[in-house]
Chains A and B, each alone.
Chain A
Amino acid sequence: MTYRIGNGSGFSGDRVDAALPVVRQIHAHGRGGALIFETIGERTLALGHLARRSDPALGYDPLLADLVRPVLADCVRSGIVIVGNFGVANPRAAAALIADIARDQGLHDLRVAVVEGDDIRDGLDLSLLDRWEGDSNALDCASDIISANVYIGARQIAEAIRHGAQVVVTGRVADPSLALGPLVAHFDWSWDDWDLIAAGTLAGHLLECGSQVTGGYFADPGFKDVPDLANVGFPIAEVEADGSFVITKPEGTGGVVDLRTVKEQLLYEIHDPSDYLTPDVVLDITGVSLTQSGQDRVSVRGARGRPAPELLKATVGVSGDWLGEAEISYAGPNALARAQLAAAIVEERVAAKFPSLRRRFDFIGALSVFGGDNRAPDGFAWPAPADVRMRMAVSAREKAQAEYALREVAALYCTGPAGGGGIRSHLQARINTASFLAPRSMVKPRYQMTGGAT
């Protein structure tokens, strides 16, 4: 029998009202199903750890209550299990908050499971781990380690659901595992039936970013038009016991599900398409076939799997640099030349004082995000914008150096080229991150049930 999994959030900061139509649609087909929330990024995880340091009751997703409160009662009544990594750095505190929300709503004895074991910071010796090949940038390992979390898999989620969990709260798990867990619990798939584990992982991969598979992050007016993005529907996977599934979205919502939206999300953050590593399986999508099987319905089949990798990816966050950014606008005749002169003046002043300070200048409206650090693409033809914003960004180990550079942009008001205005500046302490590979023996994933009738 078809099992429905919906997504209610694709990143930390996603729309908090997205889950309601998803829950309604799953409920309309009868009891059961799952709703997943994905809210962790490399940066938000480290921020969670910082929040927990300042207050042991914090460290979960700041929007947790806003995400869960509107759908909790409906999910419990419909037998829809909620699985979210919104525990971030403190899944126990998140579970306690969810239990409080449940009591407020008259839902007693809610069974909330907490999945732990991803946090390996205590006593961690980074020198014992290999660097993950995809980031070669140096991490200042002498810095204070703020967070170290392994991407764990779906097994504990599945176990918790089998033992009656109505809500499963995790920290860092591989995003597709949020969906694979409930699928394995429901269909009783074997963990070494690699093609089925791969199929569930693929469903999770397509769901994990929320509306990115239903028309969000897709529109390109005149080329890829998407109706009613203001009310874009979040995705639902209708999964069969053989691992085939349909991606769709709730009736009456905006957005679109077609071959184009599914292909874009299928390849999103994939490297070798025959070798996508998760803690649960190595997924091969090169045999996947997609069919438009109805309006806003795409059928997906053909995922292949191989045994899961021995090493697990871990992301480490350390106290990082000071990021300073300042901008000033120039507009009208000769705007770009005046903006470029402003950058040259600041460059000369900053270079004289702190020659090794890492810095970058952009000309927003002419060339910014496509540029390298102070390098235009080869053969770049500078446009003549009517309105351009010079931006300086610096990275400093010492806060005072970044502050000095920001003051040099502020000084352009009177000392810079003619007609500069609208200066804004911003200084923030960053958390720098890098990824490593950890042997499974270092990681002890587990779950604990809280609440329920005792």
Chain B
Amino acid sequence: MTATVNIPLHRIAHGRAGDKGNRLNVSVIAYTPEAWPILLREVTQERVLAMFEHRGASQVRRYVVDNLQALNFVIDDALEGGVNSALNLDTHGKTSSFHLLSMEVSMPAELATALGCTGDTS
């Protein structure tokens, strides 16, 4: 069996958050073509919803943007009311991209090494 490691998504992808009303979008963009299949497999709608449930998120839609090797997540009701209603210091949710990038993803140890990542062997 191939050894796999868990690494933070932040090591293989970057992204940006944007807001419109109480709806948040976060892009997750592969740094390299090798990282793209990992994103597709690991960064699922269900896992993203679980990461934002404590914020009140009610629904997540994942859009696969193949031409950019990027995922775009649209997360409903994750901003405690949005920019002019929220009590959160970050009323826009602008910091949320790095919350998503803190997700742990599993990948073959060999690939992680090739991409210059180190992680916890599992």
Contacts and interface: CB of A to CB of B under 8 A. Distances in A.
Interface string B75-113: 011001111110111100001100100000000000000
A395 B87 contact: yes
A377 B89 CA distance: 16
Interface residues of B, number: 44
A217 B95 CA distance: 11
Given A263-B29, A267-B27, A376-B54, A217 B16 contact: yes
Interface string A376-409: 1110000000000001011100000000000000
Interface in A245-291: 260, 263-273, 285-290
Given A43-B83, A263-B29, A368-B89, A377 B51 contact: yes
A391 B25 contact: no
B30 to A, nearest CB: 9
Interface in A199-236: 217-218, 220, 223-224
B84 A320 contact: yes
Contacts of B23: 134-135, 271
B14 A220 contact: yes
A268 B16 contact: yes
Given A132-B21, A378-B54, A264 B27 contact: yes
B56 interface: yes
B72 interface: yes
A358 interface: yes
Contact of B22 (A135, A288, A358): A135
A260 B77 contact: no
**Across the A-B interface, the 4 shortest Cβ-Cβ residue pairs:** A135-B21, A269-B18, A267-B27, A134-B23
Interface of B: 10, 14-16, 18-23, 25, 27, 29, 31, 50-51, 53-56, 61, 63, 65-68, 70, 72, 74, 76-77, 80-85, 87-90, 95-96, 99
Given A263-B27, A271-B20, A372-B56, 7 more contacts: A260-B29, A264-B15, A271-B72, A317-B84, A320-B84, A321-B85, A372-B55
